[in-house]
Amino acid sequence: MICSRFANLNKSRNEREEYHSEVLPCENGAVNPWFIGAPAIATAAAGIAAYGGMQPRAQLFGPTVCRTNSPRKLAITFDDGPNPAITPKLLDLLDRHKAPVSFFLIGRYLRECPELAREISARGHVIGNHTESHPNLFWKGSAEIRVELRLTHSAIKNALGAPPKWFRPPFGFRNPWLAAEARELNMRVVMWTLLPGDWRAPSAEWLIHRIRPIESRAKRALAHASGTGEILCLHDGSHHEQNADRTRTLAALEHWLPRWRDLGLEFVTIENAVNAPAL
Catalytic residue (one of 125, 130, 134, 235): 235
Q: In this structure, are residues 85 and 79 in contact, taking their beta carbons and an 8 Å threshold? A: no
Question: Which of 126, 182, 108, 175 has its CA nearest to residue 149?
Answer: 182
Task: For residue 163, give the CATH number of its domain.
Answer: 3.20.20.370
How far apart CA 62 and CA 180 sit, in angstroms, is: 8
Per-residue confidence in pLDDT tens, the chain, 279 aa: 444 443 444 444 444 444 343 433 434 445 555 554 545 444 444 454 544 456 666 677 789 999 999 999 999 999 999 999 999 999 999 999 999 999 999 999 999 999 999 999 999 999 999 999 999 999 999 999 999 999 999 999 999 999 999 999 999 999 999 999 999 999 999 999 999 999 999 999 999 999 999 999 999 999 988 889 999 999 999 999 999 999 999 999 999 999 999 999 999 999 999 986 665
Q: How far is the first Cα of the chain from the last one, in angstroms, to the nearest whole number?
A: 104
Catalytic residue (one of 79, 80, 198, 236): 79
How far apart CA 112 and CA 115 sit, in angstroms, is: 9
pTM of the predicted model, to two decimals?
Answer: 0.81
Enclosing domain of residue 30: 2-54
Please say whether the dihedral angle defined by the alpha carbons of residues 50, 52, 56 and 58, taken in this order, is positive or negative: positive
Does 84 lie in the same domain as 20? no
Does the active-site annotation cover 235? yes
Does 205 lie in the same domain as 78? yes
Does the active-site annotation cover 262? no
Does any domain span residue 22? yes
Rounded to 5°, the CA angle 248-254-256 comes to 105
Domain count, the chain: 2
Does 220 lie in the same domain as 120? yes
For residue 234, the cross-strand partners are 78
